[in-house]
């Protein structure tokens, strides 16, 4: 039995973030191997031997010590290097269990405040997996219950709905909050809806819209390359060819230039009265 327990695979405890789930799994393993009473049950206290000649007392004490050592082995083989530093010197499974709980699940009002703040402020991102988000919410709720804080089903259902991404507003708006009684049913419906293609937001977020824009084919530009007109066509229309020198395109002909100069001189010679009329 002990060999089977040691082979049972459980993700190693690394930090406080995973302690709640790890704790439940270890409780199941210890219970399945009849060590739960020695770690967090009625047999946590070491039995005393009043008479060394009493074979029953000696056997009871020996069995207790053996169970504690095996329970300690189950716990130690399922923690990472960091938690191991706290229980390396533990002599019993009970001692190791209590040490881990005191470090990763400390008692006190500050812990309850921290858990409440996380539960009510947690928001699911647009690209975050919905199931992982719901798992985190459920874990926080369970942790609060360990401290005597119980959330009603309607309250927890509302927390779930308000924590969903903004793109879910149309879907959540179809719920009558006064009729929500069971959060488990709501969790099931959220997971099922998340698996549907229609779960994508109707109004794409900026990141999604930008990705769609980048993936779309490039639009044609409205600029057209200028092609020089043939010399015969340019001559017939009175337009200078494109390959003509820039100064010739910009300068007027000598006749027009002399005419403009003569007109300017006549205006200068005109009398003041005439200048007003010009």
Task: Return left, alpha or beta for 265; rule: phi > 0 is left, psi -120 to 50 is alpha, else beta.
Answer: alpha
Given a contact cutoff of 8 angstroms between Cβ atoms, the answer to whether 139 and 156 are in contact is no
Given a contact cutoff of 8 angstroms between Cβ atoms, the answer to whether 57 and 49 are in contact is yes
Q: Which residue has the tokens 């191997």?
A: 33
Concatenated DSSP letters for 197-237? GGGS-SS--HHHHHHHHHHSPPPPPS-----PPPHHHHHHH
Segments making up each domain of the chain, as ranges = 2-104, 109-199
Full pLDDT tens readout for the chain, 278 residues: 544 555 678 899 998 888 888 999 999 999 999 999 999 999 999 999 999 999 999 999 999 999 999 999 999 999 999 999 999 999 999 999 999 999 998 877 888 898 899 999 999 999 899 999 999 999 899 889 888 899 988 889 889 999 999 999 888 887 777 766 678 888 988 998 888 876 555 544 444 444 444 455 554 544 444 455 555 544 545 555 555 444 544 455 555 545 554 554 455 444 454 444 44
In 108-132, which positions are buried (b, 16+ CB within 10 angstroms) versus exposed (e)?
A: eeeebeebeeebeeeebeeeeebee
Rounded to two decimals, what is the model's pTM? 0.55
User: Where is 82: in which H helix or E strand?
Assistant: helix 81-87
Cα distance between residue 209 and residue 13, in whole Å: 40
pLDDT for 42 equals 92
């Amino acid at each position: 039995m002990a060999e089977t327990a040691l082979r049972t695979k459980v993700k190693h405890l690394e930090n406080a973030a995973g302690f709640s789930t790890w704790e439940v799994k270890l409780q199941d393993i210890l219970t399945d191997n009849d060590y739960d009473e020695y770690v967090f049950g009625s047999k946590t206290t070491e039995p005393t031997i009043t008479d060394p000649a009493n074979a029953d007392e000696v056997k009871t004490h020996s069995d207790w010590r053996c169970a504690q050592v095996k329970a300690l082995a189950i716990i130690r083989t399922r923690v990472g290097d960091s938690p191991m530093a706290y229980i390396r010197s533990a002599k019993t499974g009970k001692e190791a269990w209590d040490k881990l709980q005191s470090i990763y699940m400390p008692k006190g009002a500050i812990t309850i405040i921290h858990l409440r703040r996380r539960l009510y402020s947690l928001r699911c991102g647009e690209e975050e997996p919905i199931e992982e988000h719901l798992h985190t919410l459920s874990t926080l709720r369970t942790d609060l219950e360990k401290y005597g804080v119980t959330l009603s089903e309607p309250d927890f259902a509302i927390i779930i709905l308000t924590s969903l991404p903004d793109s879910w507003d149309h879907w959540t708006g179809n719920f009558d909050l006064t009729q929500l009684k069971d959060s488990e049913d709501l969790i099931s419906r959220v997971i099922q809806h998340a698996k549907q293609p229609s779960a994508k937001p109707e109004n794409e977020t900026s990141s999604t819209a930008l990705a769609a824009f980048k993936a779309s084919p490039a639009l044609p530009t409205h600029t057209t390359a200028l092609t020089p007109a043939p010399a015969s066509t340019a001559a017939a229309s009175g337009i200078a060819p494109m390959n003509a020198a820039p100064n010739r395109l910009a300068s007027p002909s000598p006749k027009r230039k002399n005419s403009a100069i003569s007109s300017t001189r006549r205006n200068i010679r005109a009398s003041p009265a005439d200048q007003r009329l010009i």
